[in-house]
Structure 1
């Protein structure tokens, strides 16, 4: 059995895996669902990478299946570069698939524009914050939409502006799997890039981008295959 570390996407927290984690544990896996640092001065992509590295070190984890959903793909890429020998598999779930030097905004310039537009709608606009937006377009049932939006929190803009750091020299790179959510329009290009760069490609049939919430019953067997 594997140790899964599940890293959530933009504006979410460890709670986003509440329907996934029990099912993986029922299969015998160990599952950790950290919440990344909330928005604050000095919080950026490097902050979140360091948090996952500290979790791996603090729990003395080895043979980790490190899963990143959406923005979480940026985070696991950095953690994988820092602790490659501790990681069995990097798993990108409908996520960014960056190279060193690329930021989330570099990979999806349209996201930068959307974040700018969303920020102008905030009466208390803070230029360094990205407010939650867009969940109503992600196929969530009304009760799930209410749940997610009630818990979603702004992110520091630096999380999406900071580029993925260069990896330390002469370290191995963990094997990579990309999980495509078939009904999601957001990361088709990332899945193609991952396949071209040698990652294994798996698909969750008919799943939307918020698969950990909406399509967890189909997602969990696919995650189990990465262990």
Structure 2
């Protein structure tokens, strides 16, 4: 299959993702500029972390107006997997592809640490490699990772099993300990933790592989693969 990694001005995790997909997963991957207006030929899209446009206005607020965003919205509507990590999660909320918003951490401090996550839904296309309630360890690195939504939205997230990952210790104040959610269709995941930084034991954890492998498994099972 073929992954696209969207690169924005200020992105700084795109090469970590590239390494994870090409060298660890042995899958085809291409960096795609924010100036592009098409995502034809790809089976999954990854949006990396970083500080797109310096986080001016709000994290991800300016990136949502770039030429690639309509193509991303169309890609998501097609049902193919989209994964936004950290700033990628923020961009997805700003682009209207995920509900809620990411606010300042309650500590008002940038947090860089490894956090235990609880797998809250093991049946999604992003988590099928895990077991329900399994604990996985992934790095976080953010100052605006405090997920917020109103009560009605939270009720919908719970009812539709859209909460895929939860923090065990909630480092940033996110409502309901939320670390990662999907859209209602289940094909767009936003998460603050960085799975691409946890793909080798030498990095302290290889739990991130499970997320990428779940995407590969889904795409191949659905026979939506463009490239072998």
* Shorter-chain TM-score tier: 0.3 to 0.5
State the TM-score, normalized to the length of structure 2: 0.42
Q: Higher relative contact order by CA 8 Å / sep ≥ 6: 1 or 2?
A: 1
- The structure where helix makes up a greater share of residues is 1
- The structure where strand makes up a greater share of residues is 2
